[in-house]
Amino acid sequence: MNQITASIEFNFKGEYVTASAELNLDELLQKHRTIPPLHQLLATLNNIDSYSYEYEILLSEDVRFSDAKGPAADFLTDGQFDQIAFEQYWHEQALLQQLAPTIKQQLDIDDINQHPALKSVLLAAYQIGSNSQ
């Protein structure tokens, strides 16, 4: 399971506010195919009205990340999360998981990661097929 804590810290009306949530990245990617805009998501999860001055301040601050679990941890460095690289990795893994029974049946390969050249060719062929539609 891929989880990460996303937080935005800011001052509003003399108070220190932390809008934070633990995100299940697998659920978000299965539902949306991409991670939704995080400022908006954190505002919603922390009951911050998108038509408020508090929301305007929230938008001006950077999202910080911590407590990553699963493979997502490999994409977290010093509070920064490489969302684009993680999403690409996640989609590749989902595709390879779908292909695993066919790879096993046709090529008698249990773990495609043990065959990086073949894995690369399969992912490239999928990408070419996706782009041609």
Residue 40 within a domain: yes
Q: How many residues are given for the chain?
A: 133
The pLDDT score that the predictor gives to residue 3 is 98
Predicted TM-score (pTM) of this structure:
0.86
Average pLDDT in the 36-41 region? 96
Residues 104 and 75 in one domain: no
Residues 68 and 117 in one domain: no
Average pLDDT in the 3-15 region? 96
Residues 14 and 68 in one domain: yes
Q: Do the beta carbons of residue 48 and residue 54 sit within 8 Å?
A: yes
Residue 34 within a domain: yes
Q: What is the pLDDT of residues 73-132, one digit of tens each?
A: 999 999 999 999 999 999 999 999 988 898 889 889 899 889 889 888 888 888 888 777
The pLDDT score that the predictor gives to residue 118 is 87
H/E stretch holding 7 reads strand 3-12
Domain enclosing residue 54, as ranges: 3-81
Residues 30 and 75 in one domain: yes
Residue 114 within a domain: yes
Give the residue ranges of DSSP H helices in 10-77.
Answer: 25-32, 38-45, 53-59
Of 63, 81, 99, the position where a domain reaches its end is 81
Q: How many domains does the chain have?
A: 2
The pLDDT score that the predictor gives to residue 74 is 98
Residues 66 and 31 in one domain: yes
Q: How far apart are CA 126 and CA 130, in angstroms?
A: 6
The pLDDT score that the predictor gives to residue 113 is 87
Average pLDDT, the chain: 93
